[in-house]
Amino acid sequence: MDTRKQQLEKVIPGFGFYATGIAIDEVGRRVFVSNMQGQLMTLNADTLEITHTQEIEADQLLNLVYDPQGNRLLGVDQGIDRDKPRNNYLGQTYTRRSSGHQLFALDADSGKVLAKVDTDQVPIGLLLDAQQQRIYVTNRNGVRVENGAGTVTVFDARSLQRINTLALPPHPNSLALDEANHGLFVTVKNDGAANKAGTLESVVRISE
């Protein structure tokens, strides 16, 4: 999209089953896109052409973050059972490569796994705080459940070691960082019970 003119600029095909994660390397002029069939695509940010499609060891990288300091891609592997729709799309049986519910660090050039660690169940969003060297991951601990149990898992960005787990209402989703005031904001969506009760969805502020 051309954000100045608010017009469609180009439609890019070729992303396979459920293109989901996207991240940009602004200096290297690369765009990375992940899908739900264990693939990572690299695009030229200027020509918008796919330059590489790599098979990776994570089945479902839902969201991506590019770390320029380490030339890494950080992504959450969601772990939801999508076998039937994926097999129907591919026209063959897909063999799973990962156990899901994990945080991955991949080499941005090769797609090779540098490190991986368990999150809580059903990770959704992630955020890299490069200044504090922390990675925050939102987890839903269930899909379309009546009573959700959300968490934010906190990891050391260098080692991917888990530092903390914060309990939140269901279902934590997106993250935003206020670096100046050291605050982390998390959007929280409703579970089934909250939807039935007509509860408003919310935003949580966490002090770093």
- Asked if 204 and 166 count as a contact pair (C-beta separation under 8 A), the reply is no
- Asked if 136 and 126 count as a contact pair (C-beta separation under 8 A), the reply is yes
Instruction: Provide, rounded to the nearest whole percent, the portion of the chain with pLDDT above 90.
Output: 85
- Asked if 204 and 186 count as a contact pair (C-beta separation under 8 A), the reply is yes
Question: Mind listing the pLDDT tens digit for each residue in 139-176?
Answer: 998 777 777 789 999 999 999 999 999 999 889 999 99
Domains and CATH numbers, the chain: 1-118 (2.130.10.10), 120-208 (2.40.10)
For 120-148, letters b (16+ CB in 10 Å) and e give: bbbbbbbbbbeeeebbbbbbbbbeeeeeb
d(CA 101, CA 39): 17
Residues paired with 50 in a beta bridge: 43
Question: Mind listing the pLDDT tens digit for each residue in 57-76?
Answer: 999 999 999 999 999 999 99
Q: Residues 103-122: what's their mean pLDDT?
A: 97
pLDDT at 149: 87
The band of 126, judged by pLDDT with boundaries at 50, 70 and 90, is very high
Q: Which amino acid is at 168?
A: L
The dihedral over CA atoms of 142, 194, 168, 149, expressed in degrees to the nearest 10, equals -30
pLDDT above 80 for 208: no
